[in-house]
Amino acid sequence: MKLLFDENLSFRLVEAVRSLFPASVHATRAGLSSGTPDRGIWEYAKQNGFTIVTADRDFVTLADALGHPPKIVLLENCDYPTDTAARVIIANAVRVSEFEHSGRPLLTLRRS
């Protein structure tokens, strides 16, 4: 599974989950400039087979309007440090992997 981390999340998350999701990339390291509109990130993910990981609920609105692909993993209320976000993703790695093959467009992860 290829995860595309939205620019509102730290690029350090890519390294933190690389062993579980080795094809993952941060939006700013995928050739998307800083400040790329959400729709541009959406189109890039769709064209390149990525699932978007974000804390931005605007992507949920896009998913509702446009359907999927791409799929969205939403880190709900992500006002916590990067290492905590990494732990949330790692703790839910099986759910994230299974989500790729589900018919659902959105997976919400919460800090426990």
- Of 53, 56, 55, 51, the C-alpha closest to 68 is 51
- Of 95, 77, 85, 81, the C-alpha closest to 14 is 85
Q: Please give the pLDDT value at position 72.
A: 97
Q: Please give the pLDDT value at position 68.
A: 85
Q: Please give the pLDDT value at position 33.
A: 84
Model pLDDT for residues 4-34, shown as the tens digit of each residue: 999 999 999 999 999 999 999 999 999 898 8
Q: Please give the pLDDT value at position 77.
A: 84
- Which regions in the chain score pLDDT beneath 70? none
Pairwise CA distance, residues 45 & 5, whole Å: 10
